[in-house]
Amino acid sequence: MERHVERPGATTLRGNPLTVLGPALKPGDKAPDFKAVDDSLKDVNLAGTGNGIRIFSVVPSLDTPVCDAQTKRFNEEAGKLPNVTMYSFSMDLPFAQKRWCGAYGVDHVKMVSDHRDGSFGQAYGTLIKDLRIMSRAIFVVDKNNVIRHAEYVKEVADHPDYEAALAAARAAASGAASA
């Protein structure tokens, strides 16, 4: 995938259009590789997320109300989806991610920070050029590293369609279980 793609107006903040870097991925696309770090400063790439069903929840910053709610929601849902691994990606520093998880008892979502070079954001088309934060998005990636669900939330302050992502993850998990 080309990483130098610019998508002007792909997202908005309070109605103001912003340019997003990277392609708009869709179901059926191969999940791109990336290089980021977890909340212990260990490198994370696509292979490092395992070969099961994964939800990649992408948020601008954990310290904002919608991002907080989105991450807590996926933490709650993780217990109901034992064959799905949840990841939360943001540009927050790993230390802030770890602090936030400890403060709110979030222990079923794996935190990934893209703060170093925006590799995930550029590969998945979520890096807001104007602000150097992520746009809100959700991806469901199957065991073959194929994207089964992709949602780019137009307005940064809006919630994603949780049910659509969870349904896609359930479908991918049931397909994986029968394969």
Residue 179 confidence (pLDDT): 42
> Residue 28 class from Cβ within 10 Å (0-12 exposed, 13-18 middle, 19+ buried)?
exposed
Q: Which residues, other chains included, contact 105 with Cβ-Cβ below 8 Å and sequence gap of 6+?
A: none
Per-residue pLDDT reduced to its tens digit, 54-84: 999 999 999 898 998 999 999 999 989 989 9
Task: Write out the catalytic residue numbers.
Answer: 67
pLDDT of residue 176: 57
Closest CA to 37 of 100, 99, 116, 135: 116
Helix (H, G, I), strand (E, B) or coil at 142: coil
Residue 38 · residue 44 · CB < 8 Å: yes
Residue 2: is its pLDDT beyond 70? no
Arithmetic mean of pLDDT, 20-49: 97
pLDDT above 90: percentage of residues in the chain:
87
Pair 143, 57: CB distance under 8 Å: no
- Domain borders along the chain are 6-178
Mean pLDDT of 125-143: 97
Residue range 6-178, CATH number: 3.40.30.10
Q: What is the pLDDT of residue 175?
A: 80
